[in-house]
Amino acid sequence: MRILITGGSGFLGSHLSEKLVKEGHDTICLDNFYTGNRQNVQHLLDYPNFELVRHDVTFPYYAEVDRIYNLACPASPVHYQANPVQTTKTSVHGAINMLGLAKRTGARILQASTSEVYGDPEVHPQTEDYWGRVNPIGIRACYDEGKRCAETLFFDYHRQNNVEIRVARIFNTYGPRMQPNDGRVVSNFIVQALNGQNITIYGDGNQTRSFCFVDDLIEGLVRFMELEENFPGPINIGNPCEFTILELAESIIRLTNSKSKVVFKALPQDDPMQRKPDIGLAQSKLGWEPKIQLEEGLTKSIEFFSKLDKISG
């Protein structure tokens, strides 16, 4: 198949590119390199079925393709808040451009949506029928509302133009090729632990998160894309094992044999207290559930970060 991946040289996109290239698909990896980089896909450049294209999804792109994975969007607060107007444009104009391409080519299109569409949820764990609790004017809104609007566009193109859509709501995912300095909790803690710096917890550390290892996540996305039943979703994809942020910090300190101490700082605005997917739908529709336990995934991630020449926290 001919497959387009937007945001293909980012953290998730590079793992997805790798899987699809190795399966023999003609893969176009499209990226403006805002948070992604060439190094993430360097090892794929010699494959004849891999093509790397510099392009911004806020502008139309034309190619004959059978599948589109729409991943382009900065995912960490540090990056999506650096230029919030561009973040909303990337989600909304990017969705319009890629849906237009799907409509024209008849391609099936998957949207990398997010658990952030649930905001600070009153329902726990979050099921797909929960509408969410998002602050539309807060500093996270450029990302949360951008992704919500993208979901709306996906469902309207589906209803209005019969575009075959797949909306995946991705929960916290971690693993090799996360950026060391992007403020995401797992990479932050690993970098701090490896550098022997204090590990910074925002709030009292009792807020919980569930962490999915990247290989599990990618398997879930591909299964959803290739699901024979024409089921648009949304489907939650994530790991339901819940840990407090404090437990995460303690595991990382132990696995890195670090002497780092934990320090506590004020919680940022609109930071959700709990986040855990209900993955019943993914289990029944896709026969999918995560296989890699936190400790195993953290060990692989620590190995990646410890090989980086210089890591900055």
Ligand X SMILES: NC(=O)c1ccc[n+]([C@@H]2O[C@H](COP(=O)([O-])OP(=O)(O)OC[C@H]3O[C@@H](n4cnc5c(N)ncnc54)[C@H](O)[C@@H]3O)[C@@H](O)[C@H]2O)c1
Question: Which residues are known catalytic residues?
Answer: 143
In the bound state with ligand X, the residue whose beta carbon lies nearer, of 80 and 258, is 80
Instruction: Give me the least distance between CB of 205 and ligand X, in Å please.
Output: 20
Instruction: Give me the least distance between CB of 32 and ligand X, in Å please.
Output: 4
Query: Left, alpha or beta for 308 (phi > 0: left; psi -120 to 50: alpha)?
Result: beta
In the bound state with ligand X, the residue whose beta carbon lies nearer, of 16 and 286, is 16
Helix (H) or strand (E) holding 26: strand 26-31
The amino acid sitting at 94 is G
Instruction: Give me the least distance between CB of 299 and ligand X, in Å please.
Output: 19
Residues that bind ligand X (CB under 6 A): 6-7, 9-13, 31-36, 56-58, 71-75, 90, 94, 112, 114, 170, 172-173
Structure letter (DSSP) for residue 277: B
In the bound state with ligand X, the residue whose beta carbon lies nearer, of 118 and 157, is 118
Return d(Cα 213, Cα 290) in angstroms, integer. Answer: 8
Helix (H) or strand (E) holding 128: none
In the bound state with ligand X, the residue whose beta carbon lies nearer, of 94 and 249, is 94
In the bound state with ligand X, the residue whose beta carbon lies nearer, of 114 and 188, is 114
* Cβ proximity of 249 and 201 under 8 Å: yes
Report phi then psi at 196, rounded to 5.
70, 20
* Cβ proximity of 56 and 87 under 8 Å: no
Residue 42 CB partners (closer than 8 Å, separation 6+): none
Residue with tokens 């932050």: 188
Query: Left, alpha or beta for 178 (phi > 0: left; psi -120 to 50: alpha)?
Result: beta
In the bound state with ligand X, the residue whose beta carbon lies nearer, of 74 and 258, is 74
* Rg of the chain over all Cα atoms, to the nearest angstrom: 19
Instruction: Give me the least distance between CB of 94 and ligand X, in Å please.
Output: 6
- In the chain, alpha helices (H): 11-22, 77-80, 84-105, 141-161, 185-194, 214-225, 245-255, 280-286, 294-307
Instruction: Give me the least distance between CB of 274 and ligand X, in Å please.
Output: 16
Instruction: Give me the least distance between CB of 89 and ligand X, in Å please.
Output: 7
Query: Rounded to a whole number, what is the distance in angstroms from the first to the last CA of the chain?
Result: 40
